[in-house]
């Protein structure tokens, strides 16, 4: 039996080689799978890729080449302005700003310019939460109505283009939307009644468009809203009383419209209101005293309206106005002496009214120029003529 050890040794050697081969093949397969996983980690779904390419096809950007990266399958990693959900590889974010500090703009030494329109194919991105196509100056066409079907949308920012048409009537379906910026475009039609159903909305910018009609009477339902910028449109009707119930509204701009009626008497009682621009409208009646006694209101512009009566003499030590403009109205009577007790008044314009009497002596009047008081009935004192 002397040959048995050699046979056993040979069998053990064969088994060892087989184990080594199996291990190597297993490692090779793992590496191969890993390679393919890495190769596809940035690849979004074919339907999302097709939607992005259709979106790209509708736009022309001739100077910066921001769409040069939109090639291949890696739309979740290498495509400029596109982000995806890591696990599902579904497109969630398109952020394309024509004014940015991104190196691509610094290298070109210019801001962006883009023409074309936003393709409705973008609505096939069913996981989209952020859509920013802002400040490109030349994008026209209408807002795709199908955007209101994208229930995950939280941000729509199309400011600074030439977009026309109307705001989709069922915009209120987007009940997760927090920011709607459509300012600086050519949008017409009215503010959709359904907009008050977007309970999560915190910022609304519709400035500098051609929007007509009245502000929805139940606008105050937007309880999360902190900024409502509706200036430079063609709005009519009165300021809804429901606005005074908006406890988080800090910035309200209704300037340069055709708004008429009275200023709601309780508007000055809004707890965080800091900027109120109502200038260049057809507002009549008297200034609510609460506006002047609100210590948190820092910018108040009521100029170029038809306000009458006297300026409420209710300023106090908490009054802090960076800008107070009451010019070009029909205000009468004296300048309130209580303005002397205000903590701070920066810019003050009372010109082009029917005010009369002597200008109070002391701060803030000692640093103001004559232009703050000109074209009144019979004001006198420094910096005007001596009484």
Does the pLDDT at position 135 exceed 50? yes
Which pLDDT does position 8 carry in this prediction?
A: 47
Instruction: Report the distance separating Cα 76 and Cα 81, nearest Å.
Output: 10
Does the pLDDT at position 1 exceed 50? no
Tell me the whole-structure pTM to 2 decimals: 0.87
- 137 within domain boundaries: yes
- 74 within domain boundaries: yes
Kindly state the DSSP code that residue 27 receives in the 8-state scheme.
H
Instruction: Report the distance separating Cα 79 and Cα 41, nearest Å.
Output: 13
Instruction: Report the distance separating Cα 238 and Cα 261, nearest Å.
Output: 5
Which pLDDT does position 41 carry in this prediction?
A: 55
The CA–CA distances, whole Å, from 180 to 256, 308, 367 equal 21, 36, 41
Which pLDDT does position 38 carry in this prediction?
A: 38
**DSSP run (H or E) holding 21:** helix 4-40
Which pLDDT does position 101 carry in this prediction?
A: 78
DSSP string, 87-99: TT--EEEEEEESS
Q: Residues 219-248: what's their mean pLDDT?
A: 98
- 17 within domain boundaries: no
- 12 within domain boundaries: no
Q: Could you read off the pLDDT of 158-177 as tens digits, one per residue?
A: 999 999 999 999 999 999 99
Q: Which range of residues forms the domain containing residue 122?
A: 46-380
Which pLDDT does position 22 carry in this prediction?
A: 52
Q: Could you read off the pLDDT of 185-203 as tens digits, one per residue?
A: 999 999 999 999 999 999 9
- 9 within domain boundaries: no
Task: Give how many domains the chain has, as a whole number.
Answer: 1
Q: Residues 329-343: what's their mean pLDDT?
A: 96
Does the pLDDT at position 26 exceed 80? no
Does the pLDDT at position 323 exceed 90? yes
| 366 against 171, higher pLDDT | 171
- 253 within domain boundaries: yes
Confidence of residue 110 (pLDDT cuts 50, 70, 90): confident
CB neighbour burial string for 362-381, b if at least 16 within 10 angstroms, e if fewer: eebbeebeeebbeebeebeb
- 328 within domain boundaries: yes
Instruction: Report the distance separating Cα 196 and Cα 173, nearest Å.
Output: 10
Does the pLDDT at position 127 exceed 50? yes
- 3 within domain boundaries: no
Residue 171's nearest CA partner among 135, 211, 136 is: 211
Q: Residues 5-18: what's their mean pLDDT?
A: 48
State the CATH number of the domain containing residue 304. 3.80.10.10
Look over the chain and give the mean of its residue pLDDT values, rounded to a whole number: 90
Does the pLDDT at position 5 exceed 90? no
């Amino acid at each position: 039996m002397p040959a048995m050890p050699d046979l056993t040794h040979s069998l053990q050697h064969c088994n060892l080689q087989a184990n080594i081969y199996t291990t190597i093949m297993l490692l090779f397969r793992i590496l191969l799978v890993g390679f393919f996983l890495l190769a596809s980690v940035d690849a979004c779904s074919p339907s999302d890729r097709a939607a992005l390419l259709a979106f790209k096809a509708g736009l022309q950007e001739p100077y910066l080449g921001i769409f040069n990266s939109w090639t291949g399958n890696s739309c979740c990693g290498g495509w400029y302005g596109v982000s995806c959900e890591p696990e599902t590889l579904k497109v969630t974010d398109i952020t394309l700003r024509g004014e940015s500090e991104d190196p691509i703009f610094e290298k070109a030494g210019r801001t962006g310019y883009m023409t074309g329109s936003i393709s409705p194919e973008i609505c096939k991105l069913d996981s989209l939460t952020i859509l920013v196509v802002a400040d490109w100056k030349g994008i026209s066409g209408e807002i795709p109505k199908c955007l209101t079907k994208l229930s995950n949308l939280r941000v729509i920012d199309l400011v600074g283009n030439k977009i026309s048409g109307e705001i989709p009537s069922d915009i209120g379906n987007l009940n997760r939307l927090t920011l709607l910026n459509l300012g600086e475009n050519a949008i017409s039609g009215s503010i959709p009644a359904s907009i008050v159903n977007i309970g999560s909305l915190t910022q609304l910018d519709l400035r500098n468009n051609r929007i007509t009609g009245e502000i929805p009477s139940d606008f105050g339902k937007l309880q999360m809203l902190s900024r409502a910028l509706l200036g430079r449109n063609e709005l009519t009707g009165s300021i809804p009383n429901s606005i005074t119930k908006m406890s988080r509204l800090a910035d309200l701009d209704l300037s340069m419209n055709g708004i008429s009626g009275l200023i709601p008497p309780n508007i000055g009682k809004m707890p965080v209101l800091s900027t109120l621009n109502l200038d260049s409208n057809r507002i009549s009646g008297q200034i609510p005293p609460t506006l002047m006694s609100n210590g948190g209101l820092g910018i108040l512009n009521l100029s170029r309206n038809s306000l009458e009566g006297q300026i409420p003499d209710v300023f106090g030590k908490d009054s802090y106005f960076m800008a107070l403009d009451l010019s070009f109205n029909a205000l009468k009577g004296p300048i309130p002496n209580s303005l002397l007790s205000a903590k701070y008044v920066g810019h003050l314009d009372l010109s082009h009214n029917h005010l009369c009497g002597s200008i109070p002596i002391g701060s803030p009047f000692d640093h103001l120029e004559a232009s703050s008081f000109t074209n009144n009935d019979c004001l006198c004192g420094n910096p005007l003529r001596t009484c």
